[in-house]
Amino acid sequence: MKRINLLPQEERVKASRERGLIWAILILVAVVVVLGLVYVKERSDVNAKQDQLTSIQTETAAVQQQVAALSPYAALQAQRVAMTDTAKGIYESSVPFSILLQELSLVIPENVRLQSLTATVPATMLPGGAPAGTPASATTDVTFSGQTENHQDVAEFMTRLGLIPQLKGITLGSSTGTAEGTPTGSAYNYTQFTVTAGLRPYTTTPPTTTLQAVTP
């Protein structure tokens, strides 16, 4: 059976307009709901980021307080490093008399008897002295005095001193033959000698030991 719309033409147009308005309202409500959901989500994300930022700022402030509290120790560490470097420099540029004496004991001839050994560190090798590479003037830094049986032993002693790397400019000061009486009355001949040498200069500038005080 065919359906017949008995409403007047004006009512039918009005009903159609009302249905279109209802759909428009529904669509508008849907859009508003979607926008509201998006706003709530974005607001939640912003709050989460804000909380994260606040947490990071709090941690940063705590770290800055720790840095401020540890800053005196950083100054002390810098001073310790400076002192270590200075001590290392002093050790590397020190005159190794103990090593020199050990090497002397290895090269001294059997017939040579040392009576005295004097040594003086030249001014150019003191801390704060002349820079490395400065030509050193000829100085008498080490003096050996002793006796042996003859002049040949003195020459051999001087030759062996040349094997010691810390010494240079080995020079004969004197070598004098002497006779001395013995209990049996016969004379005993020996040679009294003096040999001088210079200390080999540093290859690096001698360091100074002056450090600035650090207030904790």
The 10s digit of each residue's pLDDT in 99-158 is 888 889 899 998 899 999 998 877 777 665 555 455 555 566 899 999 998 889 999 999
User: Measured between alpha carbons, how far is 112 from 121 in angstroms, rounded to an integer?
Assistant: 25
| Mean pLDDT score of the chain | 77
Q: What is the pLDDT of residues 65-104, one digit of tens each?
A: 888 887 888 788 888 888 787 777 666 656 667 888 888 9
Interval 173-200: pLDDT, tens:
988 887 665 555 555 678 899 999 988 7
Number of Cβ atoms within 10 Å of the Cβ of 93:
19
Rounded Cα gap, residues 207 and 84, in angstroms: 12
Q: How far is CA 166 from CA 127, 145, 162, in A?
A: 18, 18, 9
How crowded is residue 39: how many other Cβ atoms within 10 Å of its Cβ?
10
User: In this structure, what token pair is assigned to residue 178?
Assistant: 């002497």
Query: What does the pLDDT read at residue 11?
Result: 62
pTM, two decimal places: 0.49
Band the pLDDT of 216: cuts 50, 70, 90. Answer: very low
- Say if CB 100 and CB 197 are below 8 A apart: no
* Sign of the C-alpha dihedral computed for residues 31, 35, 36 and 41 taken in this order: positive
Query: Tell me, what amino acid is at 77?
Result: Q
